Amino acid sequence: MNRPQPVERMVEIIKKLPGVGPKMAERISYHILKMSENEVDRLINSIQKARETIKYCNICYNLSEHDPCLICADATREGDIICVVETPQDLIAVSKAKDYRGFYFVLGGALSPLDAIGPEDIRIDKLIKRLKSGSIKEVIVATDTDSKGEITAVYLAGIIKTLGIKATRLGYGLPVGGDIEYADEVTISRAIAGRTEM
Ligand SMILES: [Zn+2]
């Protein structure tokens, strides 16, 4: 017997979420059907509220309730250093390293020749614009340590150096092939302190 049509539709949509396969999508769907009406309302409202209030910061492209975001609006930060990350989640991980007091830039992905993702598909042009407009002396390239992140880092370092700015890469301690997002505070702090010029 097939699942009822409305459940089928729910499974189809949930299945598209990252890391959720068909089995998990079915589990989540049946769990939602068991939830009270109040709980379902809270789930729906929290998603809608986040979609309505969260926007991109037009300076660093972090997701925030404010534009510019609270980091970009913070005048006590060091204005001559910027840390480039792939995603807003990576920015949150790096920001846990309390000793980093510079600014950020979120690329919105990484270069991936195999997936036909080139420089025009991520915010390379916006980063160049930012680097040209400011008084930035150093760019810390904090892309992931997997192959896409490394390709992106090498590509960025070339551009950054052409602009006469120092390019550095996070130091050892980060797991190779890993996602910055999952690195803990101590590891990130050490990686920033041990950054090396590219
Ligand atoms: Zn910002």
Q: Are 150 and 122 part of one and the same domain?
A: yes
DSSP state of 105: E
pLDDT value at position 123?
96
Residue 74 domain-assigned (yes or no): yes
Number of domains forming the structure of the chain = 2
pLDDT (mean) for 118-141: 93
pLDDT value at position 177?
72
Confidence of residue 175 (pLDDT cuts 50, 70, 90): confident
Phi, psi of 105 (to 5 degrees): -150, 130
Q: Are 71 and 41 part of one and the same domain?
A: no
Last residue in a domain, options 18, 34, 53: 53
64 Cα to the center of ligand 1, angstroms: 8
CATH of the domain at 46: 1.10.8.420
Q: Which domain range does residue 78 map to?
A: 63-197
DSSP state of 115: G
pLDDT value at position 23?
94
Q: Are 125 and 158 part of one and the same domain?
A: yes
26 Cα to the center of ligand 1, angstroms: 38
CA–CA–CA angle 135, 155, 149 (5° rounding): 105
% of the chain surpassing 70 pLDDT: 100
pLDDT (mean) for 157-179: 87
90 Cα to the center of ligand 1, angstroms: 14
pLDDT value at position 112?
94
88 Cα to the center of ligand 1, angstroms: 10
| pLDDT tens per residue, range 60-115 | 999 999 999 999 999 999 989 999 999 999 999 999 888 899 999 999 999 998 99
Residue 77 domain-assigned (yes or no): yes
pLDDT (mean) for 40-48: 97
80 Cα to the center of ligand 1, angstroms: 15
Confidence of residue 47 (pLDDT cuts 50, 70, 90): very high
24 Cα to the center of ligand 1, angstroms: 35
Q: Are 150 and 114 part of one and the same domain?
A: yes
Rounded Cα gap, residues 191 and 185, in angstroms: 10
Rounded Cα gap, residues 139 and 84, in angstroms: 7
Q: Are 110 and 170 part of one and the same domain?
A: yes
Confidence of residue 171 (pLDDT cuts 50, 70, 90): confident
Q: Is the peptide bond before 4 cis (omega within 30 degrees of 0)?
A: no
Average of per-residue pLDDT values in the chain: 93
Rounded Cα gap, residues 1 and 91, in angstroms: 46
pLDDT value at position 11?
95
Which runs of consecutive H residues, i.e. helices, occur in 35-184?
37-53, 88-95, 124-133, 147-162
Task: Name the pTM for this structure.
Answer: 0.85
146 Cα to the center of ligand 1, angstroms: 25
Residue 58 domain-assigned (yes or no): no
74 Cα to the center of ligand 1, angstroms: 9
